[in-house]
């Protein structure tokens, strides 16, 4: 029951095989969706999860490939007769933009609309969002082109820690969030401001003490073997490319 599913693995431009980056943390008590650039309904069904099983949504930042489908996600939940409340976590600026996006569609006027609670997270420190007997989810600031958070999930029964960097360049904040992780899901779009190269991803994994490195949000036009080799320059553990519907731990 406790696992992580990569629902979408692409960078900003999706393709026939990959949707924009988003993922799922699942435990006995909670089903946590991270981002929704694409409408995740189809991928969730393929992963064996009904859309209304989602208990929490974490929005990492306000770029279209990470939250552009938010109105459609809530509309589909509503059309599927959701009654339970939904918690949406994000930085204050991210939640402000999310509300503005939703307001275009007058979502608060939908008949019998379920309750939505917007929960702001810290812009400066690692913060625990939820802590259950089997799952603890935390966020922390990372360095991207706009304010952004990474996400850490601690699966208590299987003793696995999964950290998702989200979009961002190597930073002290990312190192703090990822410290002691067993599986690091690290963006690898390339070198430069606001992003991480496969080589740098390997270095982040070393500092985290990770056992496994999963390259996410990468340029699919690049050769897979080349990206894996670059990551292994610094990191001696297992390295794989994220693929849609890949199940971790």
Tell me which residues of the chain have a pLDDT lower than 70: none
Give the tens place of pLDDT for each residue, 36-47: 998 899 999 999
Residue 148, pLDDT score = 98
Cα dihedral sign, 118-124-129-135: positive
Give the tens place of pLDDT for each residue, 130-162: 999 999 999 999 999 999 999 999 999 999 999
Residue 246, pLDDT score = 97
């Amino acid at each position: 029951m406790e696992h992580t599913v990569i629902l979408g693995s692409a960078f900003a431009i999706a393709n026939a095989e990959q949707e924009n980056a988003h993922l799922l943390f699942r435990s006995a008590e909670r089903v946590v969706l991270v981002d929704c650039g694409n409408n995740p309904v189809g991928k969730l069904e393929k992963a064996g999860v009904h859309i209304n099983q989602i208990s929490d949504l974490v929005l990492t930042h306000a770029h279209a490939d990470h939250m552009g489908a938010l109105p459609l996600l809530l509309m589909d939940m509503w059309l599927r007769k959701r009654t339970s409340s939904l918690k949406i976590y994000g930085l204050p600026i991210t939640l402000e933009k999310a509300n503005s996006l939703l307001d275009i569609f007058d979502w608060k006027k939908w008949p019998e609309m379920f309750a939505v609670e917007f929960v702001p997270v810290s812009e400066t420190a690692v913060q625990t969002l939820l802590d259950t007997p089997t799952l603890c989810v935390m966020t922390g600031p990372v360095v991207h082109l706009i304010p952004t958070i990474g996400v850490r999930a601690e699966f208590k029964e299987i003793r696995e820690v999964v950290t998702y960097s989200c979009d961002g360049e190597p930073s002290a904040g990312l190192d703090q969030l990822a410290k002691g992780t067993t599986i690091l899901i690290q963006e690898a779009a390339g070198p430069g401001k606001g992003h991480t190269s496969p080589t740098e991803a390997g270095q982040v994994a070393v500092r985290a003490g990770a056992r496994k490195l999963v390259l996410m949000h990468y340029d699919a036009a690049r050769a897979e073997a080349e990206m894996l080799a670059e990551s292994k320059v610094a990191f001696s553990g297992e390295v794989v490319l994220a693929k849609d519907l890949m199940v971790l731990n």
